[in-house]
Amino acid sequence: MRFLITGGAGFIGSHLADRLLKKGHRVLVIDDLSTGSIRNIKHLKENSAFSYVIDNVMNSPLMAELIDEADAVFHLAAAVGVRLIVESPVHTIETNVSGTETVLKMASKKKRPVLVASSSEVYGQSTKFPFTEDGNLVLGATVKSRWSYACSKAIDEFLALAYQKERGLPTVVARLFNTVGPRQTGRYGMVIPTFVKQALTNSPITVYGDGEQTRCFCHVADTVAGLEALLTNETAYGGVFNIGSTEEVSMNTLAEKIKDTCNSNSPIKHIPYDEAYEEGFEDMQRRIPSIEKIHDLIHWSPKRTLKVILSDVINNVRNQLS
């Protein structure tokens, strides 16, 4: 098959390209490199089944041409990272909503199946754990720019499902929970690569808030396996599926684990949210998915533990620092 990956030079997109090429597919990537990096796909340039374009997904004529060449589309292009979202809410909303609208509109003309990557952020302040796909979304106030990302991704989901219902476009929505692994950068606030780099350089490991907030981390290799399985299974079309790990860990425990694994002398320093991001910043205390729906349909569940994830990230960051 021929796959188009928007945001394909990003952390997740580049791993997805790796997987698809290894399975004998052809892959075309588009990325504007706003948060992606050409380094992530440099190793693929010599592969005759791989090609890439540096441009924005809001370029409608170009997207029409690229989608015409593809059999199916993974739409991963989006604003990413809490820091970027807080600092650039206009960019966040425009990139996510307008970009998704362009992809769906162009794909609809050719009836190319589209997987839209959403986020666990859409669950917002919900306290009904674990999060299920049919659960209510509880977003914060509009005066808090932190929630602009969650709202924009929820609109992406509504758009995808509307195109399926009204225009017959095969779509599937994947709500990604914290995905980590090699190539991920801490530049935009991703916690594990940030903690690892701090630990390896014996700098203070900076934990935001009281550190008791919990997350579930999924290895990128497991995540992209789920993405491929969803888009290539027609019974998934019209559905919304969580993709994530259910192995829950607090930020305090995570910091200690990384410090110990790295044999680091780093002190662990707590920083108030107001100082880390902006005054009145609100966070999700827990973020844990139910993965029963995706497991029942395509028998997907993560295979790699947090211990494996940390080992892979630590080795990757060590190589970058050497």
Q: Within 10 Å of residue 137's Cβ, how many Cβ atoms? A: 16
For the residues of 95-140, what is the DSSP string, one character each? Answer: IIIIHHHHHHHHHHHHT--EEEEEEGGGGBT---SSB-TTSPPB--
Q: Which residues of 208-218 are buried (b: 16+ CB within 10 A; e: fewer)?
A: bbebebbbbbb
305 CA to centre of own chain: 18
Question: Which residue is catalytic, options 149, 163, 208, 277?
Answer: 149
Strand ordering across the sheet containing 50-54: 50-54, 26-31, 2-6, 72-75, 114-119, 171-176, 240-243
Asked if residue 100 lies in contact with residue 60, where contact means CB atoms within 8 angstroms, the answer is: no
> Has 277 been annotated as catalytic?
no
Cis peptide bond prior to 204, omega within 30° of 0: no
Active site members = 149
